[in-house]
């Protein structure tokens, strides 16, 4: 084996040569063999794990292989269902793809709670998406601005071959502005463009338009300006503060009561919990993480880009300079109101939406929503998740419910048999679940 020695920051590192050229050109089986040889000690069990996740339907497997590059196998996530979501008087069973226990149960519990209290009300506030051409220019700003205003109609008309279908459907380019960013970086400007992409998430559409703007802008600048323009990059923004959706629940305070809750006390404590997340970033991050449990799970199940959604939402949570809660709560005129307002750029056409059979199934489950409807469903999933978490946190504590749901994971970790599972589940119906209590019980049974 070839060994390469190199020195870094006064430490000697020993590095085995595991680099490879041409990996992408190997067949799937060859890639696996290479991995087994170089990283997995030719382990038979590693090979078994890789191959046992292949789908026996070769066409379906090929479809999955081709979603990404260098695919070796499939990585399963469970797809669960949270029923009983009443949203604007329509009932939904919401599909959720997530690995974490108690999330689907929590969403379901919140949905059931609000089903009996009028359900969720939602509203799409705006649907504008953003893209930018970043460029450098060191000449006179007035000259650049005059040039931009002259060239703006041509920027739009040169992009017509890209926008004509979107235009026909009622979307397209909304506006292009020249933005002077020289206060931040010497010579830095942007073409800041806004778009309506209707049911498409719009990344490819926006990026294609931006690259065409950059081409036209540069070509015309070379003819009309003395100073040169250097295009740095053209790319959409995943920060979409004008692609906003709001979801809300509200009821009379007394209607918050159920078996375990004193309504007034609960409402008061719940609002305190939200207010803490508003002012305390350490808490806000966890509070919003709980919201993202719901949002990401539906975004994933419906074939959307959860990284884009996460980045955009967290940026929105810090739009005023401090990271804060995405949800809000108040009591007004004896009514409890709890709501969320978030940016969401989602697609119900394009991308994986038609390709992945489970994404198609999720869409069918939701009644084939358009992107505006999906924005509302996703926002509700986030709000419901936050309601469930805060309800537990301010009453029983999170561990009781979370550990109840996590019990099966602990049992599987210790290879519990069906009989052991049955006995232990019965035992923990009336006892507190902790990791050590489960292990103790299992050991007692086995002895």
Least distance from ligand HMG to the Cβ atom of residue 402, Å? 5
Angle, vertex CA 163, rays to CA 161 and CA 164, nearest 5? 70
| Lateral strand order in the sheet of 129-137 | 172-180, 188-196, 129-137, 229-237
State the DSSP string of 371-387.
Answer: HHHHHHHHHHHHHHHHH
**Binding flag, residue 330, ligand HMG (CB under 6 A):** no
Cα dihedral: 67, 70, 73, 78 (round 10): -50
State the DSSP string of 289-335.
Answer: HHHHHHHHHHHHHTT--HHHHHHHHHHHHTTTSS---SEEEEEETTE
Helix (H) or strand (E) holding 210: helix 203-224
B/e letters for 316-326, b = 16+ CB within 10 Å, e = fewer, are bbeeeeebbbb
Task: Specify the stretch interacting with ligand HMG by CB under 6 A; choose among 3-11, 42-50, 218-226, 387-395.
Answer: 387-395
Task: Specify the stretch interacting with ligand HMG by CB under 6 A; choose among 103-111, 226-234, 300-308, 364-372.
Answer: 103-111
Q: Which long-range contacts (CB under 8 A, 24 or more apart) does 424-432 make?
A: 428/404, 432/400, 432/403
**Binding flag, residue 102, ligand HMG (CB under 6 A):** yes
Q: Which member of 287, 402, 406, 441 is catalytic?
A: 402
**Binding flag, residue 388, ligand HMG (CB under 6 A):** yes
Least distance from ligand HMG to the Cβ atom of residue 293, Å? 5
Quick note: the x/- pattern for ligand HMG over 110-129, rule CB under 6 A, is: --x-----------------
Residues 253-292 that bind ligand HMG (CB under 6 A): 286-287, 289-290
Q: Which member of 100, 255, 280, 310 is catalytic?
A: 100
Instruction: Choose among 6, 33, 1: nearest CA to 18.
Output: 1
Task: Specify the stretch interacting with ligand HMG by CB under 6 A; choose among 5-13, 24-32, 153-161, 395-403.
Answer: 395-403
- Three-state DSSP at 221 gives helix
**Binding flag, residue 406, ligand HMG (CB under 6 A):** no
Q: Report the C-alpha gap between 216 and 222 in whole angstroms.
A: 10
Least distance from ligand HMG to the Cβ atom of residue 102, Å? 4
Alpha-carbon Rg for the chain, nearest whole angstrom, is 27
**Binding flag, residue 341, ligand HMG (CB under 6 A):** no
In the annotation, is 289 catalytic? yes
| 3-state per-residue secondary structure call for 137-189 | ECCCHHHHHHHHHHHHHHHHHHCHHHHHHHHHHCCEEEEEEEEECCCCCCCEE
Beta pairing class for 172-180 and 188-196: antiparallel
Least distance from ligand HMG to the Cβ atom of residue 388, Å? 4
Contact with ligand HMG (CB under 6 A) among 238, 327, 376, 392: 392
Least distance from ligand HMG to the Cβ atom of residue 317, Å? 14
**Binding flag, residue 405, ligand HMG (CB under 6 A):** yes
Taking the least distance from each CB to ligand HMG, the nearer of 175 and 262 is 262
Query: From the centroid of its chain, how far is CA 320?
Result: 22
Least distance from ligand HMG to the Cβ atom of residue 54, Å? 29
Least distance from ligand HMG to the Cβ atom of residue 28, Å? 36
Sign of torsion over alpha carbons 367, 371, 376, 381 = positive
**Binding flag, residue 97, ligand HMG (CB under 6 A):** no
Instruction: Choose among 71, 152, 171, 88: nearest CA to 124.
Output: 88
**Binding flag, residue 243, ligand HMG (CB under 6 A):** no
**Binding flag, residue 349, ligand HMG (CB under 6 A):** no
Closest residue by beta carbon to ligand HMG? 401
Q: Which member of 18, 164, 289, 444 is catalytic?
A: 289
Task: Specify the stretch interacting with ligand HMG by CB under 6 A; choose among 100-108, 122-130, 332-340, 354-362.
Answer: 100-108
Residues at the interface with ligand HMG (CB under 6 A): 100, 102-106, 108-109, 112, 286-287, 289-290, 293, 388-389, 392-393, 398, 401-402, 404-405
Q: Catalytic positions, please? A: 100, 289, 305, 402
């Amino acid at each position: 084996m070839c060994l390469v020695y190199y020195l870094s920051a006064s430490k000697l590192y020993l590095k085995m040569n595991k680099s490879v050229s041409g990996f992408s050109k190997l067949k799937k089986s060859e890639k696996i063999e290479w991995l087994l040889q170089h990283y997995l000690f030719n382990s038979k069990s590693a090979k078994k794990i890789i191959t046992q996740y292949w789908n026996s339907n070769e066409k379906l497997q090929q479809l999955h292989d081709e979603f990404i590059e260098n695919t070796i196998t499939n990585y399963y996530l469970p797809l669960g269902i949270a029923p009983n979501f009443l949203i604007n008087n329509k009932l939904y069973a919401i599909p959720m793809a997530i690995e974490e226990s108690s999330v689907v149960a929590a969403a379901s519990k919140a949905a059931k709670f609000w089903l009996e209290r009028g359900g969720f009300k939602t509203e799409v506030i705006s649907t504008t998406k953003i893209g930018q051409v970043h460029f450098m220019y060191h000449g006179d700003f007035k000259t650049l601005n005059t040039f931009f205003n002259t060239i703006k109609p041509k920027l739009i008309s040169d992009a017509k071959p890209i926008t004509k279908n979107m235009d026909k459907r009622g979307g397209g380019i909304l506006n292009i502005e020249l933005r002077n960013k020289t206060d931040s970086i010497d010579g830095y400007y942007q073409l800041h463009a806004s778009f309506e992409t209707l049911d498409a998430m719009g990344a490819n559409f926006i990026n294609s338009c931006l690259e065409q703007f950059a081409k036209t802008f540069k070509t015309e600048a070379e003819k009309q300006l003395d100073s040169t323009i250097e295009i740095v990059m053209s790319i959409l923004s995943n920060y979409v503060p004008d692609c906003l959706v709001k979801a809300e629940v509200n009821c009379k305070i007394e209607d918050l009561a159920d078996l375990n809750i004193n309504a007034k006390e609960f409402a008061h404590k719940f609002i305190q919990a939200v207010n803490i997340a508003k002012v305390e970033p350490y808490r806000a991050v966890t509070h919003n993480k709980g919201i993202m449990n719901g949002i990401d799970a539906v975004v994933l199940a419906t074939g959307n880009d959860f990284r884009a959604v996460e980045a955009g939402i967290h940026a929105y949570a810090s739009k005023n300079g401090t990271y804060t809660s995405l949800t809000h709560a108040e009591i007004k005129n004896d009514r409890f109101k709890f709501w969320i307002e978030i940016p969401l750029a989602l697609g119900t056409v394009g991308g994986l939406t038609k390709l992945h059979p489970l994404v198609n199934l999720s869409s069918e489950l939701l009644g084939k929503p358009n992107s505006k409807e999906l924005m509302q469903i996703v926002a509700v999933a986030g709000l419901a998740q936050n309601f469930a978490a805060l309800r537990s946190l301010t009453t029983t504590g999170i561990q009781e419910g979370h550990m109840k749901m996590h019990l099966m994971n602990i049992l599987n970790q210790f290879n519990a048999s069906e009989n052991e599972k049955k006995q232990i589940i019965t035992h923990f119906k009336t006892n507190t679940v902790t990791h050590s209590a489960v292990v103790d019980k299992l050991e007692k049974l086995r002895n």
